[in-house]
C-alpha cells in the first residue's frame, strides 16, 4: 500500500514536472474565469437593481449576453494576436529581439522528413495531410479567433437587445447592430492592447533581459543579437 502511494506520488511529480507550464496557466485561467463570472454576476445584478429590475440567478447569468460578450471579446483578441504573431514572424524580423527569428535560415525552416526518428504521423502520411499539418498551428489559432469573434458578436448582440427590451424599445436586427459602434469598440479596445503587448515584448527584449526565461536572450548577449 505504501509502495503504491509512493509510486502514485512519483508519477504525479513526474507529470507536473513535464507539464507544469500548461498546468499552472490552466489553473490560473480557471481561477480568473471563475472570479470574472462571480464579479460580473454581482455587477450585472447591481445594475439591474439600479433599474428596479429583479435580480437573476448565477446560472442564468452564465447564459446572459453580458457574460458571453465579456468573455469572448477577450478570447477573440488573444487568439488574433497569437495567430498574427505566428504568421508574421515567419517572414518579418526585428534585429536584436529574442522574439524574432535570426536573419539566416533556422532549423524551423527546414522541410519535414519522414525519415527522422519519432516524426508525427502527418509527416509520414505526406500529401495534403502534411500540407495542412505544416500550417496547423496558425490554422487552429485563426479558427479559434473566428469562433470567439462569432460568440462575442452573439453575446454583445444579445446584451444590447436585453438592454433595449428593459427600456421598452424595439429590438435591433443583427445586420443593424453589426454596423454600429458598440461591437467594434469592444473589439478594437482589446485588439489594440494585444498589439501593444506584442510590440512591447519585441522591442523590450532587444535591450532588457530575464535570466532563465526562454523569452529573453542570455544576460550577456549583445543588443544586436537576434533570436533567443
- Number of structural domains (the chain) is 2
Q: 33-51 pLDDT, tens per residue?
A: 999 999 999 999 999 998 8
Q: Which residue segment(s) compose the domain that 187 sits in? A: 65-228
In terms of pLDDT, which residue wins out, 9 or 205? 205
Residue 166: its pLDDT value, please? 86
- Kindly state whether residues 87 and 52 are assigned to the same domain: no
Contact predicate 134/127, CB 8 Å:
no
- Kindly state whether residues 124 and 226 are assigned to the same domain: yes
- Kindly state whether residues 89 and 156 are assigned to the same domain: yes
- Kindly state whether residues 57 and 74 are assigned to the same domain: no
Q: 129-153 pLDDT, tens per residue?
A: 999 999 999 999 999 999 999 999 9
What is each CA distance from 209 to 92, 98, 100, 147, 206, in whole angstroms? Answer: 22, 10, 15, 36, 8
The pTM of this model reads 0.89
- Kindly state whether residues 110 and 69 are assigned to the same domain: yes
- Kindly state whether residues 171 and 86 are assigned to the same domain: yes
Amino acid at each position: 500500500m505504501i509502495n503504491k502511494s509512493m509510486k502514485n506520488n512519483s508519477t504525479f511529480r513526474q507529470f507536473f514536472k513535464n507539464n507544469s507550464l500548461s498546468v499552472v496557466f490552466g489553473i490560473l485561467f480557471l481561477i480568473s474565469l471563475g472570479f470574472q463570472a462571480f464579479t460580473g454576476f454581482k455587477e450585472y445584478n447591481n445594475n439591474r437593481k439600479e433599474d428596479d429590475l429583479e435580480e437573476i440567478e448565477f446560472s442564468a447569468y452564465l447564459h446572459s449576453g453580458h457574460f458571453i460578450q465579456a468573455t469572448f471579446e477577450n478570447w477573440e483578441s488573444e487568439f488574433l494576436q497569437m495567430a498574427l504573431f505566428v504568421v508574421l514572424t515567419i517572414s518579418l524580423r526585428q534585429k536584436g529581439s529574442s522574439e524574432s527569428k535570426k536573419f539566416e535560415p533556422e532549423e524551423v525552416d527546414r522541410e519535414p522528413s519522414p525519415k527522422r526518428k519519432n516524426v508525427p504521423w502527418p509527416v509520414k502520411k505526406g500529401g495534403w495531410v502534411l500540407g495542412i499539418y505544416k500550417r496547423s498551428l496558425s490554422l487552429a489559432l485563426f479558427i479559434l479567433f473566428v469562433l470567439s469573434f462569432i460568440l462575442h458578436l452573439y453575446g454583445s448582440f444579445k446584451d444590447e437587445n436585453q438592454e433595449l427590451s428593459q427600456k421598452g424599445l424595439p429590438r435591433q436586427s443583427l445586420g443593424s447592430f453589426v454596423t454600429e459602434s458598440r461591437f467594434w469598440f469592444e473589439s478594437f479596445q482589446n485588439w489594440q492592447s494585444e498589439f501593444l503587448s506584442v510590440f512591447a515584448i519585441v522591442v523590450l527584449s532587444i535591450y532588457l533581459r530575464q535570466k532563465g526565461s526562454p523569452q529573453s536572450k542570455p544576460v550577456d548577449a549583445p543588443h544586436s543579437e537576434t533570436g533567443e
